[in-house]
Amino acid sequence: MTQAKDESKERKNGLYRGVSAELAENMKRGWADTERRDLAPLAQAPHAEHRRARLSARFPGELLVVPAGNPKVRSNDTDYPFRPSSDYVYLTGDQSQDAVVVLEPRPEGSHQAVAYLRPRSDRENGEFWLDYHGELWDGRRNSLTENERLLGLPCRDIRTLVGRLGAATGPIRLLRGHDAGVDAVLRDKVTAERDDEFRVALSEMRLVKDEFEIADLRFACAATVRGFEDVVRILGTDTPTPERAIEGTFWMRARTEGNDVGYTSVCAAGPHATTLHWVRNDGEARPGDLLLLDAGVESRNLYTADVTRTLPVDGRFTPVQRKVYDAVYAAQEAGIAAVKPGAAYRDFHDAAQRVLAEHLAAWGLFGDRSAEEAYELGLHRRWTLAGTGHMLGLDVHDCARARTESYVDGTLAAGMVLTVEPGLYFQSDDRTVPEELRGIGVRIEDDILVTDGGNENLSDGLPRTADDVEAWMARLRS
Ligand code: GLY
Ligand code: MN
Ligand code: MN
């Protein structure tokens, strides 16, 4: 829902003192009819309809409310680029801001979905040009009729939603936290416990991807491969490359082919690679160092890839870099091999982490303890830091509200997509490891689709072995 006007944020320094009656009248007239009457439904519309039907079956007789959310202020009167809530996108395929999808219960048990959206700006009252966010300034919106054609469901003016929700009497479930206006209207009609169940159900629905989602993730991975190739082409072999130049290069690919990056790119050169969330990207990639690049293109439908490669900036791994790289590669191989339908979700994590522990033991990092003993005590975690992967989809860490029993303690099924991303990270100030390892961080991350027969690596357009990485870099630079 559009938020009430905050007068404290209104500009006080406009150059025009007012609007003459003549200008107001002039601005109403002379605009062509631009209604588009030839629109076909979005390719995603039938999939969204099927998803809504599944949700409907889970909550018969209840009014279900899922907001897209509102823009967030970056500073003063400038907002961050808007990105709708993933569950709203999942249920509609739409990306409008301030929108809400409502599933109205029908007496026979199913639901009628209605999208509440901002209509086109009114020309008669001047809203389209006098409002700072009118269409003249922010761009044309779809009319409600156009949206009905595109989304394949009835669309109503968002300004009527307060009345509808205010009049609601039966049980209601709300996806909270996206639209403060809707949360406030429904405050006394919903309970935290029931809304939490609703949030969990939405998250769990998204565990197994449909055909449209898989195709979109496949595209996001392919575009991400092209973004990594772009980065290799600009990496200097005898001059440093700013991490921000790497970030900007990947971002150009993401904006050109997709919507954006799905998360802030980690462009971590040298010892920065040991900081898992290195997004300052204010260093430089020097020949001789490794570059850990963790980046993913988010498609125009908002599905994201999540891929990491660790590259020798000058094109050749040093012996010690290769030793660490090979250990991580072996762990990733073991992890990917464990991804298949019917396997426990934890299997790929255990498989990869055990291989890492064996290498750490072989390098003497556990002292007298065996790899098995150190693994049971979790001692490897000083250098492996994170888990081995996560579900992937509309959110980079997808399905995050799913119950433990359906996610980390659950079973893999065909149609799930997850990352396998083991890593080793030796901090520069870690005096428990030989000096040659300090400041080295390596992660290899791929996006894996669980198939009926096992799995498919959606990001295998990028090389993974050390030799293949070197050959690929040489080819791109030649
Ligand atoms: N890029 C975030 C992650 O790998 O989980
Ligand atoms: Mn990642
Ligand atoms: Mn990841």
User: Which pLDDT does position 6 carry in this prediction?
Assistant: 61
Residue 394 has a pLDDT of 98
Taking the C-alpha atoms of residue 180 and residue 186, their distance in angstroms, rounded to an integer, is 10
pLDDT at 14: 83
CATH 3.90.230.10 fits 211-477, yes or no: yes
What is the model's pLDDT at position 17? 84
Ligand 1 proximity of 268 Cβ (cutoff 6 Å): no
Let me know if domain 18-205 sits in CATH 3.40.350.10: yes
421 close to ligand 1 (CB < 6 Angstrom): yes
CA of 262 to the centre of ligand 2 (A): 10
Do 203 and 395 form a contact (C-beta atoms < 8 A)? no
Nearest to 469 by CA among 295, 317, 305: 317
**From 421, 425, 444, 447, mutation site for ligand 1 pocket: most ligand atoms within 8 A of C-beta:** 421
Ligand 1: nearest atom to the Cα of 263: 1
Measure 232 CA to ligand 1 centroid, in angstroms: 20
Residue 342 CB: number of other CB atoms within 10 A? 10
DSSP state of 327: H
| Ligand closest in space to the Cα of 263 | 1
DSSP 118-175: --PPPSTTSHHHHSTTSHHHH-PPPPHHHHHHHHSS-EEEGGGHHHHHHH--S-EEE-
Task: Please tell me if the CB atom of residue 396 comes closer than 6 angstroms to any atom of ligand 1.
Answer: yes
Q: Shortest CA distance to 280 belongs to which of 373, 231, 271?
A: 271
Residue spans of the chain under pLDDT 70:
2-11
Answer whether 153's CB lies under 8 Å from 146's CB. no
Residues of the chain with CATH 3.40.350.10: 18-205
pLDDT for 367 equals 96
pLDDT tens by residue, 40-97: 999 999 999 999 999 999 999 999 999 999 999 999 989 999 999 999 999 999 999 9
Domain with CATH 3.90.230.10 in the chain: 211-477
Cα distances from 32 to residues 77, 130, 198, in angstroms, run 31, 19, 45
| pLDDT one-digit tens code per residue, 228-270 | 999 999 999 999 999 999 999 999 999 999 999 999 999 999 9
**pLDDT at 13 (0 to 100):** 78
Can you tell me which atom of ligand 1 is nearest the CA of 296? 1
